[in-house]
Amino acid sequence: MLAIQPCWDHIRKVIQIERQIQVSYQHRVLFTKDVFESSNRLLHDVLADPNRSQPVKVLIVVDDGLVKAYPSLRRNIQDYFEPFEGIHLVCPPIVAEGGERVKNSYFHVSEIQSPIDRYHIDRHSYVIAIGGGALLDMVGLAAATAHRGVRHIR
């Protein structure tokens, strides 16, 4: 019988460096009414970046239940973004299924990641989710896992 002896020659001394770090993060919560009214500039002011030479890209996902309740919502969103040169709505708002079912399958997340890839949404862009809690969570996961994180507004 052949006995195999472990060879530890390849293991070298480990040098460990530890540093205490702090990460500062600003989390803003803004409240408004009629966000897509042309007279309400809040969303524009949040999205606009005067230091960028290229327009900021925006992808919007809307809960299908909300679209059924407010049929003009998609058109209102498109009309809101139309006059802004520094902000580009990359496509008409995407209508996605809402409800708890969307949180139980990665399929729905990939449905949102597909247009994120198609329209080259990156860390300088925004994904906006409008709807119920399950849709907000699902779109948030898609934004967080695409390109190591895309800015997300809900």
Domain assignment present for residue 6? The answer is no
Domain ranges, residue 56: 42-153
CATH of the domain at 49: 3.40.50.1970
Residue 107 lies inside a defined structural domain of this protein: yes
Q: Is the pLDDT of residue 10 over 90?
A: no
Overall average pLDDT of the 50-77 stretch: 95
Instruction: Please indicate, yes or no, if residue 30 is contained in any of the structural domains.
Output: no
Q: Which residues pair with residue 60 across a beta bridge?
A: 128
State what percent of residues in the chain have pLDDT above 70.
Answer: 92
In a domain, 31, yes or no: no
Sign of the C-alpha dihedral computed for residues 84, 87, 88 and 89 taken in this order: negative
Domain count, the chain: 1
Rounded mean pLDDT of the chain?
Answer: 91
